[in-house]
Amino acid sequence: MSATLPTPGPSASAVVPALEVRDLVVRYGRAPGRLRRRASAPAVDGVDLVLAPGRTVGLVGESGSGKSTIAKAVLGLQAVSDGTVTFRGQDLTSASARERRAVAADLRVVFQDPYSSLNPTRTIGDTLAEPLRLQGLGAAQARERAVEVLEQVGLPGEVVDRYPGQFSGGQRQRVAIARALVCRPEVVVLDEPVSALDLSTQAQVLNLLADLRDEHGYSFLFVAHDLGVVRFLSDDVVVLYRGRVMESGPAEEVTQRPRHPYTQALVAASPVPRPGEQAERRLARERLGVGSASTASADPAGCPFASRCPLATDTCSTERPALRLLGEAQVSCHHAS
């Protein structure tokens, strides 16, 4: 008797990305004063990223690197100057307000501050039920789902009738996560979701997010400034500096074998709980010879990191480095090896 062959599944290339950003450019108006006639430098300048279903892409960089601007552009909270943001094959950059509302339940967000992201005058149940009622669910069904998702994030269902002021910061962030997940979305944008929490609470929330993603198949776009935090939750990492991608690739490759001097500096600056290792990292950062952020100077023609980079040459100031494959990561550097 002949064996029955299994039906082949779709190839990786056939899987439609949950979220795809191509050549994204975002500008915030024009420069002030006598430079008013010149367009301002872009806050995001030609960024690409692909978020596959059930995976997490981490956006990491110093303040002003453009990571939160990318998140706002994905959510429709910031106008896109050029490029595309595609959600499940649909171009959101040209979507109407009605089309945006149609995908709102499948594209959700958790904001940074757990204290200002919840309305203090509404019960937790009312807050969680609102997007469900907009989808047409009745009051009883919405409340039942609210209790269910609260229990998924580690809170007892009975807190559904309490107000935000009755919770700690970590508990409020769990409520904010529950609000994002209550509609069973496909993609969740996590905009610095643990940076306002203490270290022990950070670890709890990160473990919760990892468990929820693995159990329910959510896709996360995770924004953070700490490369260690990004490494814990992310499958892939995009390292940003002044709106450009400096390095991108698998999280293990980027964080354990960083090729770009900027990524190396971020790794060395990432805090660890062991004082001896922290001291070694501090020495490693000093040996790198990377300049501080205050020494940076804008030069749109070349590499934006050139004025801080120990490897910089004249070429770095005049020619923009293209992303090239080194190991398993893409690196934007003339001299990285």
Provide the token pair at 321: 């480095």
pLDDT at 221: 98
Q: pTM above 0.75?
A: yes
Banded pLDDT at 200 (limits 50, 70, 90) = confident
pLDDT in tens, 128-170: 999 999 888 999 999 999 999 999 999 999 999 999 999 999 9
Helix (H, G, I), strand (E, B) or coil at 191: strand
Are residues 263 and 244 part of one domain?
Answer: no
Q: In the predicted model, is pLDDT for residue 4 greater than 50?
A: no
pLDDT at 337: 81
Share of the chain above pLDDT 90, in %: 69
Are residues 211 and 66 part of one domain?
Answer: yes
Give the lowest-confidence range in 32-36, 86-90, 174-178, 272-276.
32-36
Structural domain contains residue 10: no
Share of the chain above pLDDT 70, in %: 84
Owning domain of residue 236: 16-29+39-250
Are residues 271 and 243 part of one domain?
Answer: no
Structural domain contains residue 9: no
Buried b (16+ CB within 10 A) or exposed e, 249-284: bbbebbbebbbbbbbbbbbbbbeeeeeeeeeebeee
DSSP bridge pairs for 82: 25
Name the E strands within 140-254.
Answer: 187-191, 219-224, 236-241, 244-250
Are residues 278 and 206 part of one domain?
Answer: no
Mean pLDDT (the chain, rounded): 87
Are residues 205 and 131 part of one domain?
Answer: yes
Between 295 and 55, the higher pLDDT residue: 55
Ramachandran sector of residue 221 (left: φ over 0; alpha: ψ -120 to 50; beta: rest): beta
Q: What is the mean pLDDT of residues 165-184?
A: 95
Structural domain contains residue 308: yes
Structural domain contains residue 291: yes
Q: What is the mean pLDDT of residues 178-194?
A: 96
Between the alpha carbon of residue 268 and those of residues 206, 279, 303, the distances in Å are: 21, 10, 21
Given 219, 250, 281, the domain boundary residue is 250
Give the lowest-confidence range in 28-42, 48-62, 275-289.
28-42
pLDDT at 285: 61
Given 210, 234, 250, the domain boundary residue is 250
Are residues 191 and 269 part of one domain?
Answer: no
Whichever domain contains 142, its CATH number is 3.40.50.300
pLDDT at 288: 64
Structural domain contains residue 117: yes
User: Can you count the helices (H) and strands (E) in the chain?
Assistant: 11, 12
| Helices 261-269 and 275-288, packing angle to 10 deg | 150
Structural domain contains residue 7: no
Structural domain contains residue 5: no
Q: Which of 113-122, 207-216, 291-300 has the highest mean pLDDT?
A: 207-216
